[in-house]
Structure 1
């Protein structure tokens, strides 16, 4: 279900706590000061980079009656209404399902066409805009072209290519890029997070995702998975613990395995530890590369086939993981042996 609501998540008016957003913040403030901020904007970028925080910060700044040089004041009546989740001129479409339908988009259009209750801006925020149905996207087109005086439509999506061209062509895109790795690691350390470079890279360089990864305890599950997996790749029998963890942690476990095999491919090509996801396992990876005589196969099609099988319903996933790991083990023992495709009859 997708609902339109005035109730807002607890996001601060201040985004200085996410220092890599300072460039985006300043560009938006400059556009506002020059009265050049578009009425329709599309914010794109990887999840976990602060895209949601930035769009809410901008919405709050546009609604504020007494803005400061850094954004909303947080103290005027408009800001207090936003903080209370009851601002009549702010509509946030929250996603609880697979799509955003035309009816809810029509409510957003009505909000932008009404006279502002607080004599200021009217703002509609649509996150995950890529899941709008075709009818919803079509309904939004006229509003994107003529949103009305002091009315702003803020869309967000992971990638502009996920939306229909008629939507993206009517919005100004603002990319929220992943920060430099050292900037992200410094921030994680300041937050008291135990996230490492491997955790950051596993999460696409997104610091907020890396922090959540550690807070959820997945880093401990990752460590245990890798220890047991390396044992198998080095010739040990496949333990029941590894199979149980692989099934329980799917799809994370599949992502971890894929990342490890990509690292192995890099090592066989002569890349050094700083280019790896799991540089802490350089010794093990280098030993496996030597077993392969530095002739690593292309894992991509094999992994893609197994991904479908491991996500399929009605199959014994313990047996599927066992078959896949046996295939890997046999390849390392006999480097010229072809990779075995998944057998869905298991």
Structure 2
């Protein structure tokens, strides 16, 4: 989606700021994955460089706009984490670019993705530019969580909170990617990001995962240790990397949450294709057991974060859940 569709209020705000020539030198754009932080930053860059403005807004089609969208504009530089962090050498490169005049004009724009992943030394290195801006140089720092940024960075930038997307907007976008109605409903609970959704939809991974986790879930709610075999023969293979492992754990938690909510009297399951089956499972369980199961499920992501093996986490949870549901 375009910035105007994702964040119309924020875009209108920046349009007025630019028209009044009041654009600050450094902004911190903060919001959840998929809300349009990068799109907004690139829209601002296009607004500054577009040579075919339409009603005062970037056309998105001219040579300048296309180069920005294709990450090819020499005066619009984007920096992303190198591995797990943004390193001080990357920021030093930016600072050297800050000091140069624009290659093709008088303006330069810098967009720092996942700015919260800057090392402390990288953050401190960036502070000098923010404290002593020069010329028509504009920096946009993007983060999902402003609380992970150094307080000194926050205090020296204009902080812009991007609005969360509505669930319906997210579902429409995921449907455009080719996801079925049932999968769209589940995907919207897992992520707001089109890029992440594309990965999950690829090769029908999410459909297989929803089915296999459901199979596992029905077994553990019967206290059936056949669920252990399901882990070893199916689920471990689906968790081919950390992202997919996280998603499998999230699916397990969603099944547990649905069971608990339906037991507590709520009407609709996220997994609409299994609505009646989950209702039947809920009839045979107490609310206390459902809550105990949720406690077990919610421990799993923290264990994965602590680098405990994925298979070990699943096997341990399977044993504990089978015991809880017996």
What TM-score, normalized by structure 1, do the two folds share? 0.78
- Residue by residue over 1:181-226, the C-alpha shift from the partner in whole angstroms, topping out at 9 and shown as x without a partner, is 22222333345443421211122x4455334422352222223223
Q: 1:196 aligns with which of 167, 171, 184?
A: 184
Give SS of 2:160's match: strand
- The gaps in structure 2 that reach 5 residues or longer are 240-244
Listed as ranges, the matches of 1:110-189 within 5 Å are 110-189=96-175
Aligned: 1:293 with 2:280: no
Aligned: 1:262 with 2:257: yes
More helix by share: 2
Shift, 1:44, TM fit: 1.6
- Residue by residue over 1:277-318, the C-alpha shift from the partner in whole angstroms, topping out at 9 and shown as x without a partner, is 334433233333333223332556534544455677686x65
Shift, 1:28, TM fit: 1.9
- What is aligned with 2:320? 327
Number of residues of Structure 1 aligned to a counterpart in Structure 2: 314
Listed as ranges, the matches of 1:9-24 within 5 Å are 15=2, 19-24=5-10
CA distance in 2, matches of 1:146, 1:153: 12
- What is aligned with 1:10? none
The 3 A distance-change label for structure 1 pair 278 and 28 is: same
Aligned: 1:224 with 2:211: yes
The 3 A distance-change label for structure 1 pair 299 and 51 is: farther
Shift, 1:331, TM fit: 1.6
- Residue by residue over 1:225-282, the C-alpha shift from the partner in whole angstroms, topping out at 9 and shown as x without a partner, is 2331233023543263443322222232222112211222222322221xx4334433
The 3 A distance-change label for structure 1 pair 202 and 79 is: closer
Shift, 1:32, TM fit: 1.1
- Residue by residue over 1:92-136, the C-alpha shift from the partner in whole angstroms, topping out at 9 and shown as x without a partner, is 213231222222212212222222232331111111111111111
CA distance in 2, matches of 1:328, 1:314: 18
What TM-score, normalized by structure 2, do the two folds share? 0.82
- The gaps in structure 1 that reach 5 residues or longer are 1-13, 334-346
Shift, 1:160, TM fit: 0.8
CA distance in 1, matches of 2:295, 2:171: 33
Give SS of 1:152's match: strand
Q: 2:232 aligns with which of 224, 232, 243?
A: 243
The 3 A distance-change label for structure 1 pair 319 and 15 is: closer
Give SS of 1:247's match: helix
The 3 A distance-change label for structure 1 pair 298 and 332 is: closer
The 3 A distance-change label for structure 1 pair 323 and 112 is: closer
Residues 200 and 207, structure 1, Cα contact 8 Å, conserved in 2: no
The 3 A distance-change label for structure 1 pair 325 and 81 is: closer
Give SS of 2:291's match: coil
The 3 A distance-change label for structure 1 pair 320 and 113 is: closer
- What is aligned with 1:272? 267
The 3 A distance-change label for structure 1 pair 306 and 117 is: closer
